Structures are given as C-alpha cells and as structure tokens.
Amino acid sequence: MAGLGSVETDLSGKRALVTGAASGIGLAIARHLGDLGAAVVLSDLAGERLDSAVAGIPGAEGQAADLSRRSDVHDLVARSGAVDILVNNAGLQHVSPIEDFDEAKFDLLQAVMLAAPFMLIRGLLPGMYERGWGRVINISSVHGLVASPYKSAYVAAKHGVIGITKAIALEAAARSRDVTVHAICPSYVRTPLVEGQVADQAKAHGIPEEEVVEKVLLTQNAVKRLIEPGDVARAVEFLCSEMAWTMTGSALTMDAGWLAH
C-alpha cells in the first residue's frame, strides 16, 4: 500500500492575525504562516520589536495594540480586515504566592490572555462564517490542563482559554463545518517569557537560577528538553490544514510527556 506522504499546507489567499507576534512563539507562527502563503498581520505592543518582526516577513503588516485595553482590542478587530486564521498567542506571566499576588497583575493577565481572545473571536468569527472557512487557534498551555504553584493568574487564564475554545467550537460546528476552533497546550517553550521567569522562580523556590530549568521548569516533563517555538508553529500549520478536518474543540497537548504521569 502506498504511503500517505507529506503535504505542505498551502495558505495562499488566506489572511492570518497573530497576537503577541513580535517575539517567541508568536513570531515563529507568523513567519511559518507567511512561508505557507498566508498574508500575515502581526500584532503586539508598539515599538522596535514589532517593527523588526514585520520587516522580516515579506508582505506582512503590523498592527500595534495593547490587549489589556478593550478599546485597543476593538480597534484591532476593525483594522485587521477579513481574517481567516486567528492565532490568540499574546501572553505574560507573574509568579507569586497567592497571599502576595498583586490584584492588578491578576486583572492584567486575565485581560490579555482571556478577555482579549474572547473579544477578538467575537469580532472576527462572523466573517469566517460568511466566507465558509476559518481557523481560530488559541495558544493555551499545559497549565490550561494542570496547575503549578505560584501561578494562580496564569493557570486561571489558560484554563479559561480552553473553556472558551470548547464552547465556541460547538457554536462554530453548527454554522460551518470548515470553521474550527482549537487550543494548543505546550509545556515550557524556549521564549523570552520563559527565560524571564527564571529569576522569579529561583526566588519563589529558594534555589539558584541555574537550577530552575531542570528542577522547576522541566521537572514534570518525561522528555527533559524545552520545546522550540517552531514546533508550535508546525502544530498551527496542521490545524490549518485540510488533514485536521476531523478535529474541533481540541486541546492539543505538546507537553513532552508531562500529563502521562
């Protein structure tokens, strides 16, 4: 019997919006979608990082937005055009024991990682229905499925993202079989966000910074290595492909065996 082979996804004619796209996972996804033929809109905070990221992707557009501000989110919907692929990736972290957790930080994480995806999906999904094709891909985390100490706001937001994913997937399936909604749940990825946690985790756990990756970040992984941003980008490609037609409402784990324990 002939093998199935591999088929590179052709996204020519599709328009993608990626949030948190100036670095890390978001930038890797934006670059990969551009390589597959999509017209890519990168959104992040205004500044040199966003400008540089946009300049590195032929034909890409940049849309500066502070996703903690509802007015910016609504403006981003209006300025992004007819989006076929929405990747809600923007995120941030704050590590602290609950008794010391700053309330403003809690609100900030919910605004960026839960409220903003809700508003972007609400604004852009109707266009996908009208065009008969669409992909909503929410970058959650293994912390959308399990918890770790000192990350109450992050864990709450990422669990919420999976809940939104499942609810909207059911709505979308009733409207169009070619509009799907997914979450991707990686464990630790080699990004500036993860690198920025090292000092906070060292302080919280009372260990030297050089021990944080092995003793804290990767302690639950069966495979003791950080995931690369490009690995997540290729998962996004799969969910955009016709091969993924059997899936919607999924929480796709990329956890290096974390949940196998």
Which residues form the catalytic set?
154
DSSP per-residue string spanning 85-113: EEEE---------GGG--HHHHHHHHIII
Nearest in space to 160 (alpha carbons), one of 192, 138, 136, 135: 138
Q: What DSSP designation does 245 have?
A: T
219 sits in which H/E element: none
Beta strand ranges found along 11-109 (DSSP E): 15-19, 39-44, 61-64, 85-88
| Structure tokens that stand for 156 in this block | 């709450």
Instruction: Report the sign of the C-alpha dihedral through residues 241, 246, 247, 252, in that order.
Output: negative
